[in-house]
Amino acid sequence: MSLRTAFTSVALASVVVAAGCQPPPAETPKDAPPAATPPKKTDAPMANDIPAPADVAAAPADAAKTASGLASKVLKAGTGTAKPGPEDTVEVHYSGWTTDGKMFDSSVKRGKTTSFPLNAVIKGWTEGLQLMTEGETRRLWIPEELAYGGRPGKPAGMLVFDVELVKITAMPKTPEDVAAIPASAKKTKTGLAYRVIKEGPGGAMPTAADTVEVHYAGWTLDGKMFDTSYKRGQTAKFPLGGVIPGWTEGLQLMKVGDTYRFWIPGNLAYGDVPSRPGAPAGMLVFDVELIQIMK
84: Cα within 13 Å, side-chain hemisphere? 31
Break the chain into its structural domains and give their ranges. Answer: 31-169, 186-294
Q: 168 an active-site residue?
A: no
Query: In the beta sheet, which residues pair with residue 223?
Result: none
Checking if the pLDDT of 16 tops 90, the result is no
Q: 270 an active-site residue?
A: no
Determine the CATH number of domain 186-294: 3.10.50.40
SS (H, E, C) 7-75: CCCCCHHHCCECCCCCCCCCCCCCCCCCCCCCCCCCCCCCCCCCCCCCCCCCCCCCCEECCCCCEEEEE
203-252: per-residue pLDDT in tens? 899 999 999 999 999 999 999 999 999 887 789 999 999 999 999 999 99
Report the chain's C-alpha Rg in angstroms: 22
C-alpha span between 127 and 145 (Å, rounded)? 13
The residue type found at 146 is L
Mean per-residue pLDDT, 49-74 = 96
Is-contact 131 138, C-beta < 8 A? yes
Sign of CA dihedral 148, 152, 158, 162: negative
Mean per-residue pLDDT, 2-26 = 34
Q: 148 an active-site residue?
A: yes
Q: How confident is the model at residue 193, as a pLDDT?
A: 98
Catalytic residue (choose from 88, 122, 168, 262): 122
Q: How confident is the model at residue 33, as a pLDDT?
A: 56
Catalytic residue (choose from 116, 161, 216, 230): 161
**DSSP 3-state of 249:** helix
Determine the CATH number of domain 31-169: 3.10.50.40
- Tell me the whole-structure pTM to 2 decimals: 0.65
Q: 94 an active-site residue?
A: yes
Q: 49 an active-site residue?
A: no
Mean per-residue pLDDT, 179-189 = 97
